[in-house]
Amino acid sequence: MTRIERITHMEALFDKSGEVVGRLEQALKEFAAIAPDIAELEAYYTSPQWRKDFEADEAGKLPKDLKRGVLSEDGIWNLLADYQRLKETLICKKQEK
């Protein structure tokens, strides 16, 4: 590999890495900012109100065109579990340093 090829290659790695690091930094800020939203979703999911809303959906009492992914037991459970897993991963990585 010539000097020019090496520098060109390293520059490409530098640019790619900078973009990924920047996106991750932004994603981490967004992840931290949704903590209150996740807490509100979890409180709703574990409340009697969620069960009532779920049952109303099952009974066909909600409009057909209403977006209601939040009433999907697997959907909201998976979101909360994924959030917790990512949070724990970030905490573990931080403690390893």
**Per-residue pLDDT, 94:** 65
16 and 62 assigned to the same domain: no
Residue 50: what pLDDT? 97
17 and 43 both lie in a single domain? no
SS3 sequence, 1-70? CCHHHHHHHHHHHHHHHHHHHHHHHHHHHHHHHCHHHHHHHHHHHCCHHHHHHHHHHHCCCCCCCCCCHH
Q: State which residues form the domain around 4.
A: 1-33
Q: Are residues 40 and 27 in the same domain?
A: no
- Name the one residue in this structure whose structure tokens are 């969620």: 50
pLDDT tens across the length of the chain (97 residues): 999 999 999 999 999 999 999 999 999 999 999 999 999 999 999 999 999 999 999 999 999 999 999 999 899 999 999 999 999 988 876 666 6
Per the structure, the count of domains in the chain is 2
